[in-house]
């Protein structure tokens, strides 16, 4: 009876849909798969970011946050600190220490730990060393441990994945950056192993991170530590790697990229917090002849508060609080720098050097091209920035001065050469 067989298949399919729907956490209907990726130095009083994590985990009095501090040298102490913040300050119902770290890797397959993971409605990965996270949650062959599989399953059900600093960097399913300084990265390139004689080398992990955030390399403490050069070199050197990517996000300190409906065509990243998030695109880049390193046709977009990006198409929507800068520039000329990768720290009251120079191109009446050079020499690297063509535009929410203006841009052309 083919008709009856068809009816049974339809009923079976319908029941499976109901199972998925019933199995999802309540917040899934609003946010889908979600993440809150913080760039480090998260202030205790950053109410918006903490409230966002708690809300996306089910809300005050409901959220159960699994605290994963495998990256820390003292995981329990770090977990106690964040337990106090999430429960006593921001109203989570629970904040539970997930006891997996490099000294307790057997816990990544402990049934009791896995049951604890499945009770959570969200997770927070603390800062430290992202390599420790992968050592704790990946098996020796690079595959996901049972605990990580459980976390992945909870993400699919709507449990928010949040993290700060190393807790953000480790999330990628692409090559994972481990350390390095921009000038050294540009001069010497990327390595998979650390060097005791060259501690500032650009080092990455070829097997990737823990795989919860797809298609983008991630870096943190970004503009405040002048990490633009190192991420460009990492993308370029690993572009043909099986886990390489043409795209990366650099998340600034005390700032978050809030991801909703991850893995769908509606997947969106929205910027909240104190500074910005830089998108790097080397899909059209070309390496040119040089003794050490030279590259052109790199495109950058810098998103600040309220801006959004479609994670699949990379289409950018600027915040409605901002206006287009073209025709409303405030200064005669663009700025330059002789220490282009100097960060300056979040609390300096000034924009980091790269951000300062890049955003000035859009606020200049007479110039659309500028440059910055490295403080270091032998060689001195020159970073040229152009806002001419390529659908490049700047948007701003004016405040009291250039350094307090909230400026965003898209499709800034960048080249790096040796002087």
Domain-located, residue 1: no
What percent of the chain clears pLDDT 70, i.e. is strictly above it?
A: 95
Say whether both 64 and 169 belong to one domain: yes
Give the active site residues: 165, 184, 221
Give me the number of domains the chain comprises: 2
CA distance 349 to 342: 14
Per-residue pLDDT band at 344 (split at 50, 70, 90): confident
Among 25-34, 78-87, 223-232, 339-348, name the one with the lowest average pLDDT: 339-348
In a domain, 315, yes or no: no
Residues 350 and 406 in one domain: yes
Instruction: Look at residue 393 and tell me if it is in a domain.
Output: yes
What is the spatial distance between Cα 419 and Cα 416, in angstroms, rounded to a whole number? 10
Task: For residues 222 and 328, state if they share a domain.
Answer: no
The four Cα atoms 222, 225, 226, 232 give a dihedral, to 10 degrees, of -50
Closest CA to 84 of 73, 71, 97: 97
Query: Is the confidence at residue 114, as pLDDT, over 90?
Result: yes
**273, 329: one domain:** no
- Statement to judge: residues 138 and 277 lie in one domain: yes
> What residues make up the domain containing 387?
324-418
The average pLDDT across 313-340 equals 98
Of the ranges 293-297, 316-320, 344-348, which one carries the lowest mean pLDDT score?
344-348
User: For the residues 61-85, what does the mean pLDDT come to?
Assistant: 98
Note the pLDDT of residue 256: 99
What would the pLDDT profile of 261-271 be if each residue is shown by its tens digit?
999 999 999 99
Q: What is the per-residue pLDDT for 236? A: 99
The 10 Å Cβ neighbour count of residue 198 is: 13
CATH of the domain at 266: 3.40.50.880
Average model confidence (pLDDT) across the chain: 95
pLDDT confidence of 104, banded at 50, 70, 90? Answer: very high
Closest CA to 311 of 216, 419, 198: 216
- pLDDT the model gives residue 12: 44
- The mean pLDDT of 134-155, rounded to a whole number, is 98
pLDDT at 21: 47
Among 260-269, 296-305, 386-395, 405-414, the least confident range: 386-395
> In the prediction, which pLDDT does 202 show?
99
Which residues are registered as beta bridge partners of 316?
309
- Considering the domain architecture, whether residues 79 and 143 belong to the same structural domain is answered as yes
pLDDT at 6 exceeding the cut of 80: no
In this structure, are 237 and 124 located in the same domain? Answer: yes
Instruction: Please tell me whether residues 120 and 60 are part of one structural domain.
Output: yes
The pLDDT-based confidence of 345 (bands split at 50, 70, 90) is confident
Residues 211-238 have pLDDT tens digits of 999 999 999 999 999 999 999 999 999 9
Asked whether residue 14 is domain-assigned, the answer is no
Residue 22 lies in a domain: no
Same domain, 253 and 334: no
Q: Where a domain ends, among 242, 268, 287?
A: 287
> In which residue are the tokens 């050079």 written?
373
Distance (Å, whole) CA 278 – CA 299? 10
Same structural domain, 369 and 258: no
DSSP secondary-structure letter at 86?
I
pLDDT, mean of residues 128-142: 98
Domain termination site, one of 287, 314, 339 = 287
Question: Same domain, yes or no, for 214 and 328?
Answer: no
pLDDT attached to residue 22: 64
Q: Report the C-alpha gap between 148 and 118 in whole angstroms.
A: 11
Q: How far apart are CA 189 and CA 312, in angstroms?
A: 29
**211 in any annotated domain:** yes
Length of the chain: 419
Rounded Cα distance, 338 and 383, in Å: 10
Q: Is residue 8 part of a domain?
A: no
Residue 74 has which token pair?
């003292």
Q: Find, among 218, 224, 225, the residue nearest to 247 by Cα.
A: 218
Let me know if residue 314 belongs to a domain.
no
Which domain-ending residue is among 262, 287, 312? 287
H or E element at residue 308: strand 308-310
Top-confidence residue, 386 or 3: 386
Q: Which helix or strand (DSSP H or E) is residue 55 part of?
A: helix 47-56
Residues 339 and 269 in one domain: no
Confidence of residue 7 (pLDDT cuts 50, 70, 90): very low
Question: Across residues 62-90, what is the average pLDDT?
Answer: 99
Residues 19-68: pLDDT tens digits? 344 699 999 999 999 999 999 999 999 999 999 999 999 999 999 999 99
> What is the distance between the alpha carbons of residues 15 and 35, in angstroms, rounded to a whole number?
29
Q: Return the closest-CA partner of residue 234 out of 163, 198, 296, 186.
A: 186
125 vs 35: CA distance, rounded Å: 11
pLDDT tens for 352-364 read 999 999 999 999 9
């Amino acid at each position: 009876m083919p008709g009856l067989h068809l009816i049974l298949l339809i009923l079976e399919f319908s029941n499976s849909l109901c199972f998925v729907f019933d199995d999802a956490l309540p917040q899934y209907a609003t946010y889908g798969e979600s993440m809150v990726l913080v760039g480090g130095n998260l202030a205790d009083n950053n109410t918006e970011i903490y409230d966002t994590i708690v809300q996306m985990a089910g809300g005050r009095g409901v959220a159960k946050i699994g605290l994963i501090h495998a990256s820390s040298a003292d995981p329990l102490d770090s977990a106690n600190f964040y337990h106090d913040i999430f429960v006593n300050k921001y109203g989570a119902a629970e904040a539970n220490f997930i006891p997996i770290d490099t000294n307790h890797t057997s816990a990544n397959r402990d049934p009791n730990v896995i049951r604890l993971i499945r009770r959570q409605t969200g997770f927070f990965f603390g800062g430290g060393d992202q390599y420790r996270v992968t050592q704790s949650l990946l098996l020796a062959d690079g595959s996901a441990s049972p605990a990580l599989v459980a976390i992945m399953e909870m993400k699919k059900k709507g449990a928010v994945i949040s993290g700060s600093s190393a807790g953000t960097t480790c999330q990628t399913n692409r090559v994972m950056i481990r350390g390095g300084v921009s000038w050294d990265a540009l001069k010497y390139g990327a390595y998979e192993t650390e060097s005791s004689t060259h501690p500032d080398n650009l080092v990455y992990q070829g097997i990737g991170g823990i795989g919860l955030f797809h298609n983008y390399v991630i870096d943190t403490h970004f503009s405040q530590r002048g990490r633009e050069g190192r991420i460009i070199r990492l993308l370029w050197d690993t572009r043909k790697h099986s886990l390489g990517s043409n795209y990366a996000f650099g998340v600034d300190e005390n700032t978050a990229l809030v991801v909703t409906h991850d893995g769908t065509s509606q997947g969106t990243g929205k910027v909240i917090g104190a500074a910005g998030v830089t998108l790097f695109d080397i899909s059209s880049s070309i390496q040119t002849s040089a003794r050490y390193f030279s590259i052109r046709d790199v495109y950058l977009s810098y998103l600040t508060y309220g801006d959004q990006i479609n994670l699949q198409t990379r289409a950018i929507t600027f915040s409605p609080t901002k206006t287009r800068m073209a025709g409303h520039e405030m200064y005669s000329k663009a700025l330059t720098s002789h220490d282009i990768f100097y960060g300056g720290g979040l609390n300096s009251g000034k924009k980091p050097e790269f951000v300062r120079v890049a955003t000035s191109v859009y606020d200049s009446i007479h110039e659309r091209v500028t440059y910055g050079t490295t403080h270091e020499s032998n060689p001195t690297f020159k970073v040229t920035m152009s806002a001419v063509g390529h659908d490049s535009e700047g948007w701003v929410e004016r405040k009291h001065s250039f350094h307090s203006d909230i400026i965003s841009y898209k499709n800034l052309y960048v080249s790096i050469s040796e002087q």
